Amino acid sequence: MKIVLMGNPNVGKSVIFSRLTGVNVIASNYPGTTVEFTRGTMRFRGEKAELIDLPGAYTLEPTSRAEEVATRMLQEADLVINVVDATNLERNLNLTLHLIERGKPLVVALNMWDDARHRGIKIDNKKLQKLLGVPVIPTVGLTGEGVKELVLSLGRATSREAISRTKEERWSQIGEIIRECQSLTHRHHTLLETVGDFTVKPLTGLPIALVVVYFTFKAIRYMGEGLIGHLFDPLFERFWAPLMMNLSSLLGSSGFLHDVLVGKLISGEIDFVQSFGLLTTGLYVPIAMVLPYVLSFYLVLGILEDLGYLPRLAILVDSLMHKVGLHGFASIPMILGIGCNVPGALATRVLETTRERFIAATLMAIAVPCTAQIAMIIGMLGDQPLYLTAVFGSLFLAWIGLGVLLNKVLKGESPEIFVEISPYRIPYWNTVVKKLWMRVREFLSSAIPMVLLGVLFMNILYSLGIVNWIAVVTAPVITGLLGLPREAVSALIIGFLRKDVAVGMLVPLNLSAGQLVVACVVLAMYFPCVATFVVLIRELGIKGMFKSTLIMLFSALGAGTILNLIF
């Protein structure tokens, strides 16, 4: 038995889905697309039934990739639960009539029933049920009101003979239904509605957006660093490090197998960042360095999603983002990339087209350094404001310039941003936690194997002397075009693992302020760290990541050469 949840975007489908399913839910992409849907299980007539939360759709006459996927998956459904926003009944009924016309067994969940009452909207659900000819159950997903009745009504799901209507006939019928079933009474704005108005108007919305972004960044950084400092680092240092030292002794403290599994010993000890072994760096990077920020990012993102703030932020910055071939939702990866590029790369999936995801991921990887790298740069150039400004000014100009260039060169257009501004609502924590678990589980299942493969690959290159050969071959470029000493090649290689460590490796080289500017900009632009690289391969595909990498390398080389001429 396959049951699908279908409705317009922002009608509370995910909350209803969370109420109906258990904890074992799976987020998937429809084959051949990046459109995500969620599947779980529920009990129906004493048996296990599959429940699928389809992408939001306004119509079964697709106008977007999400609606195409929803329409195709509807064909496989045995029963449909149409989640309808009671506060926007007229607009939602368009999809309802489409579903009725398809002849599928259907139940309507008239969700946000409490919101409708608070807004002075009165709906006669009994009359609505009679006019539609299918069960209509008022629900409040946030509190669970009506969910039991919804489950019981599935056994009464009815289907009507498939018919075909014109758009005019459909909207004419919707008008008649609204006249008979709905009435409005006067009411005053609520506090959340007043706040909602302020956060979408440019004059007040932009300052509020800056405050929200600042505290979002602070929250992600605070939680991430707290998890690293108080949980993950102590676990690795107190429990895993001794085990690895024992394994190191068993393997003779050196040799190929030792270097692959444990890595190099730094001053006789394991350094989880620099040892570069499968069981040391290979596990430490995704679990202790990246997971805390991913966990924090997804928690904050889930809260902002369910609160209803992200569409407002997207609209505020839409005009600016269009200049570089993106729309307002691309602000999310850029902002979160400042905290850590990994969640920034993951956030590119909120964009609709492959072209937009490619531009956003490439710009973020090139010109948006993570917090740790920013801290190291400030530590070295903080007492020289002119040179510090040169570093971040260069990155900003690179972001603008490359964005404009990619927008002109890459085929396709940036679609207009059609986003429904839903009212602010208090997040349902069960849904927030469930989404957090799904996303973190997906990250761990994909990131850890790829990081281990990356570490293994780098170890093989080291053992074969290929890394040293690269240093010799690239030295003329490093010293000639960039004006840096040959020893800086080591920092560039380490930068593939950890950018802030690579910046720190510049300190013993006694570089001039101008050389530090060149080195810091090149390190930021030339290549993402291994964790971000792994995520970007997943998001862009191997071919897309190859193109993005070429852009990064040539951009870094060009920017470094220009800065070398200036300084």
Per-10-residue mean pLDDT, the chain, length 567: 90 86 53 59 85 89 81 91 94 93 92 86 93 93 86 86 83 93 80 78 86 84 88 94 93 88 88 83 82 84 84 77 76 78 79 85 91 78 87 93 89 65 78 82 74 74 76 82 83 76 77 92 88 84 91 93 92
Q: How many Å apart are CA 5 and CA 473, to the nearest integer?
A: 58
3 state DSSP class of 422: coil
Contacts of 414 (CB under 8 A, 6+ apart): 321, 322, 325, 326, 327, 355, 356, 407
Structure tokens at 212: 């929200």
Strands 121-123 and 182-184: antiparallel
- Dihedral of CA atoms 407, 409, 413, 414 in degrees, nearest 10, equals -20
> What's the pLDDT at 29?
42
d(CA 498, CA 285): 9
Helices (H), 139-201: 147-153, 167-181, 191-200
Question: Facing residues of 49 across strands?
Answer: 42
For the chain, the domains span 2-184, 202-566
**How confident is the model at residue 418, as a pLDDT?**
58
The reported pLDDT for the residue numbered 32 is 39
C-alpha 290/C-alpha 295 separation (Å) is: 9
Q: Give the model's pLDDT for residue 15.
A: 84
Give me the residues paired with residue 121 across strands: 184
CATH class of 2-184: alpha beta
What's this model's pTM, rounded to 2 decimal places? 0.68
Q: What contacts 176, CB < 8 A, 6 or more positions away?
A: none
How far apart CA 10 and CA 147 sit, in angstroms, is: 18
Give me the count of residues in the chain. 567
Supply the pLDDT for residue 436: 86
